[in-house]
Amino acid sequence: MPVKNRFAELHDEITAWRRDIHENPEILFETHRTSAMVADKLREFGCEEVVEGIGRTGVVGVIKGKSDASGKVIGLRADMDALPIHEQTGVEYASKTDGAMHACGHDGHTAMLLGAAKYLAETRNFDGTVVVIFQPAEEGGGGGREMCNDGMMERWGIQEVYGMHNWPGRPTGSFAIRPGAFFAATDLLEIEVEGLGGHAAKPHETIDSTVVASQLVLAAQTIASRNADPVEQIVVSITSFETSSKAFNVIPQRVSLMGTVRTMSAEMRDLAEKRLNEICDGIAATFGARIKLVYHRNYPVMVNHDEQTEFAAKVATSVTGQCDEAPLVMGGEDFAFMLEERPGAYILVGNGDTAMVHHPMYNFNDDAIPAGCSWWAEIVEQRMPAA
């Protein structure tokens, strides 16, 4: 059962939607234009129900099959938000908003799910109900958590949920997936180091906050190299180091650090937080400084459910003839919140030989649209075959 012919027919139309979204990127929960466009399209397609404002600016559409003897309800989710990056692609439909661009392909995800929704509303060749979910604020805002907290799963009786992300470097339209832990937990840390500032010529009269903070940066790396089991996945990165003075001859009073911790298990997540607190306390005592750590647990590990992953891979194979095993990904994905509430699976679709996501030269590959749309449609038709 290869790529559906209907999506070849709809390809130009779906591409036009994608490029319109690309040209008008919106960040985090500010997806007002995109959300309105999505809602208008879903109503135009004939969805039984279209609800806006779920998870602040999320949109949910409901499509009923020809029958409902199965009583099954499946959710399909796409993300809508862009990134605070200045686009450098030079394409004719490049971002018209300075400092914002679709550098992760959410424009493609939204357009593909709209294409699948149009097809499913046209054919209704399934027994059950489809809930199409268009989510804001995947890029750090936790829009998936917000939609779940608004009671989305319970309100529409969603029983399973499926998501998709494009993947540069994979052949265009090919698929890859893995069961279990897939995307990492992505925690955030902020550290304030308070020393005693003074003249750079008299370091003995100061508590040098730059030295203290530098020790912290180095010590944090020992969590992965000396505390964690080497076979575990953990990344501790200090990504910002900012002093309270910019002068050449001043030892600053304060240093602010920021960073991220990526882990693939609850045990490693707990270890990282515990060791960072101990390191901060120990270095503060050693140098006589004051150190405050704020450790924010952000996105949890995204875990694919075994049965649904096997099914999703089978569907992908039916569409393109093959589905590969995906690697572990140390990036985060807030679809994790939906998979904590309901069984489901998340799959990668190849974007071809393009720039990597989160790069100013990245662009979603429109040639992946038919495969992506077909996978979503087949998830529905194979999971809930028409009576």
| pLDDT, tens digit, 9 for 90 and up, residues 236-292 | 999 999 999 999 999 999 999 999 999 999 999 999 999 999 999 999 999 999 999
On the question of a common fold for 5-183+301-383 and 185-299, the answer reads no
Q: What is the largest CA-CA distance in the chain?
A: 84
Tokens coding 25: 């990127």
154 among annotated binding-site residues: no
CA distance 106 to 58: 14
- Taking the domains of the chain in order of start, what are their residue ranges? 5-183+301-383, 185-299
Quick one: fold of 185-299? Answer: Alpha-Beta Plaits (3.30.70)
Tell me how long the chain is: 387
CA distance 106 to 86: 16
Q: For domain 5-183+301-383, give the CATH number.
A: 3.40.630.10
* Strand-pair partners of 82: 27
How deeply is 256 buried, as exposed, middle or buried, from its count of CB atoms within 10 A (0-12, 13-18, 19+)? middle
Dihedral over alpha carbons 58, 59, 65, 68 (to 10 degrees): 60
- Residue in the structure block whose two tokens are 């040209």: 23
The pTM for the full model equals 0.95
Q: Give every CB contact of residue 361 below 8 A, 6+ residues apart in sequence.
A: 88, 89, 355
> Would residue 349 be called left, alpha or beta, if left means φ above 0 and alpha means ψ between -120 and 50 degrees?
beta
305 among annotated binding-site residues: no
Which one-letter DSSP state was computed for residue 300?
P
Q: Show pLDDT as tens, one digit a residue, over the chain (387 residues).
A: 577 899 999 999 999 999 999 999 999 999 999 999 999 999 999 999 999 999 999 999 999 999 999 999 999 999 999 999 999 999 999 999 999 999 999 999 999 999 999 999 999 999 999 999 999 999 999 999 999 999 999 999 999 999 999 999 999 999 999 999 999 999 999 999 999 999 999 999 999 999 999 999 999 999 999 999 999 999 999 999 999 999 999 999 999 999 999 999 999 999 999 999 999 999 999 999 999 999 999 999 999 999 999 999 999 999 999 999 999 999 999 999 999 999 999 999 999 999 999 999 999 999 999 999 999 999 999 999 998
Total Cβ atoms within 10 A of residue 239: 10
Which one-letter DSSP state was computed for residue 168?
T
CA distance 102 to 107: 6
* Strand-pair partners of 290: 194
11 among annotated binding-site residues: no
165 among annotated binding-site residues: yes
How deeply is 209 buried, as exposed, middle or buried, from its count of CB atoms within 10 A (0-12, 13-18, 19+)? buried
323 among annotated binding-site residues: no
User: Shortest CA distance to 76 belongs to which of 369, 379, 307, 302?
Assistant: 379
